Amino acid sequence: MGLDSGAGLVDQWPVLGRHVRAAEWLRVWADLGRAPRTIDAYARGLAEYLLVCERVGVDPVVASRAHVAAFVRELTERPSHRGVNVVSIDSGSGLANATIQQRIVPVRLFYDFLIEEGLRESNPVGRGRYTPRGRRGGQQRGLVPRMTKLPWIPTEQQWLALLEVAAGEPVRNRVMLALAYDAALRREELCSLRTEDLDPGRRTLRVRAEVTKNRMERVVPYSAPTGVLLSEYLAHRAMISRARGPLFLSESRRNRAQPLTLWTWSKVVRRIALAADLPRFSTHTTRHLCLTDLARMGWELHAIARFAGHRSTESTLTYIHLSGRDLADKLAMGMDQIHAWRVEMLARVSEQPTQTAAR
């Protein structure tokens, strides 16, 4: 998808058409086959930065770190539905820390491109990195401190409340929720499933590389109850369309038998979440919950990482959200063992003088 053919980006962000180098950089990424959603995110982040440059009257090709800092400040002070009082980055006003990081990435990559083209000598955004300790060694922070929060997962009571609402949903929505949890699927992975990805005999499904976040294909299992629900849905789907292809289809009058979009599924989950009084529940919550449950069951970290489709266990650690009760139980078990050992050793020590005196 070259930028010329993707005129929608320029239509949505006219500023991109006013900066030749920016348009050229986006075209390179598009021609390299980056996912459309990635290109959209890059276009948005870069366009917002270019607008800030235009407001202060600086050519982005020669902009300094101070101009990038002004862009970051604008992001942190942008009005938010969360609140009006700015306490810190990610405090409830302005964009969330993760969103700010997302906006900065395309700006940093854009300047990397300008350096490679010989148009700049340094990158005003920079990146955090670690160097061996010494005269100038140690940890060097990035432009914006990165905050990593534990994912939110529902309590057992909250999960039951969600299931009670979901019970009244059409079979398509119920099986999608079941698969999203059973196989720890991301939203795009779930909505992109095709009929040929299913292996009902082995109760597994294939997550194709082209729809995953890191382009790694994997095969994951699903449970017997989900298999029953899936069979019911396939019979229902046959009444909408007998054609092979996208597994989950729209049933609306306007888009009947068309593939279900990511945004439609997000709206479905949002509606269910609000009905269950769980506004924090999202399409990614089922993935968090599944990986956390696997950790609670004693799965090893590398096994969870493989199941989740992570390249490294570092990514998996973010998703394993053990509750305080789980940690307290582990601590209590460990302390019980240590206590028993110490008592045993004290008993052995106390016996020694007695034995010596008896001699």
Report mean pLDDT in 10-residue bins for the chain, 359 residues: 52 86 88 81 91 92 90 78 40 64 89 92 74 47 60 89 93 95 94 96 93 88 93 96 95 92 95 95 92 83 88 74 54 68 67 49
- Asked whether residue 165 falls in the same domain as residue 282, the answer is yes
Would you say residue 146 lies in a domain?
no
Would you say residue 15 lies in a domain?
yes
- Asked whether residue 188 falls in the same domain as residue 47, the answer is no
- Asked whether residue 229 falls in the same domain as residue 240, the answer is yes
- Asked whether residue 315 falls in the same domain as residue 327, the answer is no
Which CATH number fits the domain that encloses residue 169? 1.10.443.10
- Asked whether residue 33 falls in the same domain as residue 68, the answer is yes
Q: CA neighbours within 13 Å on the CB side: how many for 82? A: 14
CB 296 within 8 A of CB 322: yes
- Asked whether residue 49 falls in the same domain as residue 183, the answer is no
- Asked whether residue 180 falls in the same domain as residue 305, the answer is yes
Residue 349: predicted pLDDT = 62
Residue 232: predicted pLDDT = 95
Backbone φ and ψ for 204, nearest 5 degrees, come out as -135, 160
- Asked whether residue 171 falls in the same domain as residue 256, the answer is yes
Total domains, the chain: 3
Would you say residue 145 lies in a domain?
no
- Asked whether residue 202 falls in the same domain as residue 301, the answer is yes
Residue 140: predicted pLDDT = 47
CA distances from 322 to 112, 298, 355 (A): 39, 11, 48
Residue 79: predicted pLDDT = 64
Residue ranges making up the domain that contains 331:
322-351
- Asked whether residue 290 falls in the same domain as residue 333, the answer is no
CB 94 within 8 A of CB 80: yes
- Asked whether residue 96 falls in the same domain as residue 45, the answer is yes
> pTM to 2 decimals?
0.65
- Asked whether residue 180 falls in the same domain as residue 273, the answer is yes
CA distance 68 to 58: 11
Backbone φ and ψ for 268, nearest 5 degrees, come out as -60, -50
Would you say residue 303 lies in a domain?
yes
Would you say residue 138 lies in a domain?
no
Would you say residue 164 lies in a domain?
yes
Residue 152: predicted pLDDT = 84
